[in-house]
């Protein structure tokens, strides 16, 4: 009997393993493709490449409408779910359905920010929420693969139902406290990883959280602001950008350089240059890509 049979198949972890594999691989491939599409669009914008219609690495349009890849993900999740509920197949088909379900979930969650904002914010700062959703789902799937109980302990481990009920109450108190302290991701992961919920509940709250506004005095609020400063947020943004690609509303450096060079050239030739728009809505328009 192989290691795979002993550790994965016999405990019933094979579907979860293949779900996680399908999820991670699909996310990696999807981000690779979208980053290539974005790079080509920037190259076309600065004149380094010619526009092209269609192709393998291009956005999909049906009837003039851009079909986001979350659509294919939602359809895949629905189809695999129906097949599993209807036929409940044995191995190896259950593993195949699990892998396809994971792939569909990755395609859908990769555009989680679009669900939330109801607009295409994939490469904007708000698009980092999709990376958060992917990371949370990955941790939850990994916890399930490792056999972690949703509350960290089972009635058998606790010794009695009373002990289990008390442990359950303490655990969810930590989860709720983490959420009140503004640590939503920590609270979600803490549901299946009790240590994470405990750390989130013990450590300092975010200054904008319900807990900090209601319970922190000036000194402790100042500590919270220093702890969760702009530098702290920037570090997390860099981590998310390394995973999913650079997010933000600014054009690429090459595009900005070309725009600056064109402006300077027009000024030297005494060409009329439009005054910059400083109207009330100028800051909100930004570059749409």
Q: What is the pLDDT of residue 31?
A: 96
Q: pLDDT band for position 94 (50/70/90)?
A: very high
Q: Give domain status of residue 261, yes or no.
A: no
pTM for the model stands at 0.77
Number of H helices, E strands in the chain: 15, 2
Q: Give domain status of residue 168, yes or no.
A: no
Q: What is the pLDDT of residue 266?
A: 43
Please, what sign has the CA dihedral across residues 234, 236, 240, 242? Answer: positive
Over residues 224-231, mean pLDDT: 93
Q: Does residue 187 surpass a pLDDT of 80? A: yes
Q: Give domain status of residue 237, yes or no.
A: no
Q: pLDDT band for position 175 (50/70/90)?
A: very high
Q: pLDDT band for position 288 (50/70/90)?
A: very low
Question: Whole-angstrom Cα distance, residue 57 to residue 244?
Answer: 17
Cite the DSSP H helix spans in 4-92. 14-45, 69-87
* β-pair partners for 61: 66
Over residues 202-225, mean pLDDT: 94
Question: Whole-angstrom Cα distance, residue 31 to residue 21?
Answer: 16
Question: Whole-angstrom Cα distance, residue 267 to residue 272?
Answer: 8
* β-pair partners for 66: 61
8 A C-beta contact, residue 194 and residue 182: no
Q: Give domain status of residue 201, yes or no.
A: no
8 A C-beta contact, residue 178 and residue 187: yes
Q: Is the peptide bond before 92 cis (omega within 30 degrees of 0)?
A: yes
Query: Residues 123-171: pLDDT tens digits?
Result: 999 999 999 999 999 988 998 888 766 555 555 665 677 877 888 889 8
Structural domain for 135, as ranges: 1-147
- Considering the chain, what percentage of its residues have pLDDT values greater than 70? 80
Q: pLDDT band for position 46 (50/70/90)?
A: confident
Query: Residues 72-93: pLDDT tens digits?
Result: 999 999 999 999 999 999 999 9
Q: Does residue 269 surpass a pLDDT of 80? A: no
Q: What is the pLDDT of residue 204?
A: 95
Summary mean pLDDT of the chain:
83
**Closest of 100, 101, 109 to residue 31, by C-alpha:** 109
DSSP one-letter code for 127: G
Question: Whole-angstrom Cα distance, residue 139 to residue 143?
Answer: 6
Q: Give domain status of residue 252, yes or no.
A: no
Q: What is the pLDDT of residue 156?
A: 60
Q: pLDDT band for position 188 (50/70/90)?
A: confident
- Count other C-beta atoms under 10 Å from residue 232's C-beta: 12
8 A C-beta contact, residue 68 and residue 111: yes
Q: What is the pLDDT of residue 148?
A: 60
Q: Give domain status of residue 213, yes or no.
A: no
- Count other C-beta atoms under 10 Å from residue 30's C-beta: 19
Q: How many domains does the chain have?
A: 1
Over residues 6-26, mean pLDDT: 94
Q: Give domain status of residue 119, yes or no.
A: yes
Q: Give domain status of residue 62, yes or no.
A: yes
Tracing tokens 């004149």 back to the chain, one arrives at 47
């Amino acid at each position: 009997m192989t290691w795979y049979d002993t550790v994965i198949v016999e405990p019933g972890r094979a579907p979860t393993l293949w779900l996680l594999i399908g999820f991670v691989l699909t996310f990696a491939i999807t981000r690779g493709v979208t980053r290539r599409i974005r790079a080509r669009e920037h190259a076309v914008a600065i004149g380094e490449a010619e526009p092209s219609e269609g192709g393998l690495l291009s956005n999909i349009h049906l009837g003039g409408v851009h079909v986001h890849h979350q659509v294919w993900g939602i359809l895949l999740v629905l189809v695999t779910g129906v097949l599993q509920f209807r036929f409940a197949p044995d191995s190896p088909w259950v593993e195949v359905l699990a892998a396809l379900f994971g792939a569909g979930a990755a395609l859908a969650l990769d555009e989680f920010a679009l669900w939330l904002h109801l607009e295409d914010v994939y490469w904007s700062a708000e698009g980092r929420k999709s990376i958060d959703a992917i990371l949370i789902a990955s941790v939850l799937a990994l916890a399930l693969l490792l056999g972690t109980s949703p509350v960290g302990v089972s009635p058998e481990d606790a010794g009695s139902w009373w002990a289990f009920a008390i442990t359950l109450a303490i655990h969810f108190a930590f989860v709720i406290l983490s959420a009140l302290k503004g640590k939503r991701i920590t609270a979600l992961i803490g549901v299946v990883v009790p240590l994470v919920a405990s750390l989130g509940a013990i450590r300092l709250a975010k200054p904008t959280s319900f807990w900090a506004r209601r319970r922190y005095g000036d000194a402790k609020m100042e500590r919270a602001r220093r702890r969760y400063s702009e530098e702290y947020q920037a570090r997390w943004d860099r981590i998310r950008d390394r995973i999913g690609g650079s997010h933000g509303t600014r054009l690429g450096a090459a595009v900005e350089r070309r725009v600056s060079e064109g402006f300077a050239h027009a000024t030297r030739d005494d060409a009329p240059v439009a005054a910059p728009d400083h109207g009330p809505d100028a800051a909100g328009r930004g570059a749409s890509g």
